[in-house]
């Protein structure tokens, strides 16, 4: 294996130091790596437009890096069928394109300054350019999907609707009669879980795998998505932006609700110390804000958030019960666990 391939294998739970160094595991790691190279080539080819600005802006976040979690899941579940067919590669690319498009929009709405270690697109250009670039990526993804048939269109349309509803509900906030934590978990399921679930499903649908596996893999993907975002809530409090790719406390500064803050708000009703910390998190002074973020990082509500992420990951793995034992199931299981323990 090349160094890059070994790194990918480790991220998927395929590192032969963790699992038996069987031929099947090595073949699986190589198949995913080869599939990812094809997805990257597809993205580079499709993110070419008739405008120089569109070319540069449209590839900006693609070339900034990223984990490619969604294409990896599509490629991985496709191994339960015929593997990385041309259709799997195409739809994996559109799923990543849809994710990238949502990032352009999210950064404008959240006024984020950094994404994947580079200045957010709306700062490099302006809000209008960032929004239109996101729209352009959504449009190109839809064109590719149309070539894959009605089934793909329905899958994309349903997922896109949930992405928008998740963002809308996050923006509006919970109703007065709605539990804020349950509302937040539904937002995470819609904004993050839906696209990850679609990736897991797409690998089955477009590799001619057993369609009885769609339901358990959608359940898996939804729960991995929630676990992923809860882990992100903890990462947002991390001390080193060089590792996370964005400033510490980005979501807090933007007023975006996160699980540690929601739990702190709940505790603040009967806990003076929690109420005081909640107040300091609204500080305008950077030094005072940083001190409050550090205190929140070590607070029990953050440990509770990390534990909640583990529970969602455990539920994801429980959904894999119908999947036959083997390298793919092992990789999916390890992947769900690593989502919680990552630091970026």
How far, in Å, CA of 82 to CA of 148, rounded?
17
Domain positions in the chain are 3-341
Output the pLDDT for position 239: 62
**pTM for the whole thing?**
0.87
Structure tokens at 128: 């209008």
Output the pLDDT for position 241: 66
For residue 147, count CB atoms less than 10 angstroms from its CB and return exposed for 0-12, middle for 13-18, buried for 19 or more: exposed
Backbone angles phi, psi at 259, to 5 degrees: -60, -45
Shortest CA distance to 48 belongs to which of 131, 174, 136, 173?
Answer: 136
3-state secondary structure of 334: helix
pLDDT in tens, 67-92: 888 999 999 999 999 999 999 999 99
Output the pLDDT for position 248: 76
CATH superfamily for domain 3-341:
Farnesyl Diphosphate Synthase (1.10.600.10)
pLDDT in tens, 207-258: 999 999 999 999 999 999 999 999 999 988 876 666 666 677 777 777 778 9
Count of Cβ atoms closer than 10 Å to residue 171 Cβ: 10
How far, in Å, CA of 296 to CA of 278, rounded?
9
Output the pLDDT for position 115: 84
Output the pLDDT for position 20: 40
Which residues of the chain fall below pLDDT 50?
1-7, 9-10, 13-22
How far, in Å, CA of 230 to CA of 97, rounded?
23
Strands (E), the chain: 114-115, 118-119
Half-sphere exposure of 173 (CA within 13 A, CB side): 6
């Amino acid at each position: 294996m090349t160094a890059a391939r070994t790194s990918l294998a480790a991220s998927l739970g395929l590192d032969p130091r963790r699992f038996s160094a069987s031929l099947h595991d090595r073949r699986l790691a190589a198949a995913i790596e080869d599939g990812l190279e094809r997805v990257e080539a597809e993205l580079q080819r499709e993110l070419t437009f008739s405008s120089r600005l569109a070319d540069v802006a449209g590839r900006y976040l693609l070339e900034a890096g990223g984990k490619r979690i969604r294409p990896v899941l599509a490629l991985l579940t496709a191994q339960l069928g015929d593997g990385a067919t041309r259709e799997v590669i195409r739809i994996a690319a559109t799923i990543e394109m849809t994710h990238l498009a949502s990032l352009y929009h999210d950064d404008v709405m959240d006024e984020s300054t950094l994404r994947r270690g580079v200045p957010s697109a709306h700062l490099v250009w302006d809000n209008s350019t960032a929004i239109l670039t996101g729209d352009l990526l959504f449009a190109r993804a839809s064109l590719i999907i149309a070539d894959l048939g009605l089934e793909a269109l329905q899958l994309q349309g349903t997922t896109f609707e949930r992405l928008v509803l998740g963002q809308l509900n996050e923006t509006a906030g919970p109703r007065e009669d709605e539990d804020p934590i349950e509302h937040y978990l539904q937002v995470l399921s819609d904004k993050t879980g839906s696209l990850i679930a679609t990736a897991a499903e797409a690998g089955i649908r477009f590799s001619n795998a057993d369609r009885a596996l769609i339901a358990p893999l959608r359940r898996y993907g939804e729960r991995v998505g929630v676990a992923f975002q809860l882990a992100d809530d903890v990462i947002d409090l991390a001390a080193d932006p060089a590792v996370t790719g964005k400033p510490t406390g980005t979501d807090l500064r933007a007023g975006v609700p996160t699980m540690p803050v929601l739990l702190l708000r709940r505790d603040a009703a009967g806990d003076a110390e929690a109420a005081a910390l909640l107040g300091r998190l609204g500080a305008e002074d950077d030094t005072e804000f940083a001190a409050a973020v550090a205190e929140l990082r070590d607070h029990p509500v953050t440990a509770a958030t990390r534990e909640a992420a583990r529970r969602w990951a455990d539920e994801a793995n429980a959904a894999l019960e119908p999947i036959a034992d083997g390298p793919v199931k092992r990789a999916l299981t390890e992947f769900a666990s690593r989502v919680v323990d990552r630091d970026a």
